[in-house]
Amino acid sequence: MSVNINIPDSIALSPFELSMNLAAKLFDRGLITSGQGAEMVGLSKRAFIKLLGKYEVSVFQYDMDEVLEDLENIKHARNI
């Protein structure tokens, strides 16, 4: 899909930066995979993942409840 968006001239971002911001946000929200994000911006999956930190997006898509659940499961497994 292709979308045309009118961006004010005062926003001094390159087309790549705009695409990367969008892809990073979609990835962060769980709406696309890292492979899809990479494809959106024309990078390899590895390069896309490396850039996510610059956009304050974690590659690890865990919320706090999932982290706590994983820790509880590890604790339980060690007690068996």
Using the predicted structure, report yes or no on whether residue 75 has a pLDDT greater than 70: yes
Residue 13 to residue 7: CA distance in whole angstroms: 9
Residue 9 has pLDDT above 90, yes or no: no
Please compute, for residue 75, the number of CA atoms within 13 A of its CA located in the half-sphere on the CB side: 6
Give the model's pLDDT for residue 62.
66
How confident is the model at residue 2, as a pLDDT?
A: 83
Whose tokens are 């959106």? That residue is: 40
pLDDT at residue 66 above 80? no
Residue with tokens 């990479």: 38
Tally the C-alpha atoms within 13 A of residue 16's C-alpha that lie toward its C-beta: 5
CB atoms within 10 A of CB 43: 18
What pLDDT, in 10s, does the model give residues 13-65?
A: 899 999 999 999 999 998 999 999 999 999 999 999 999 999 989 887 666 77
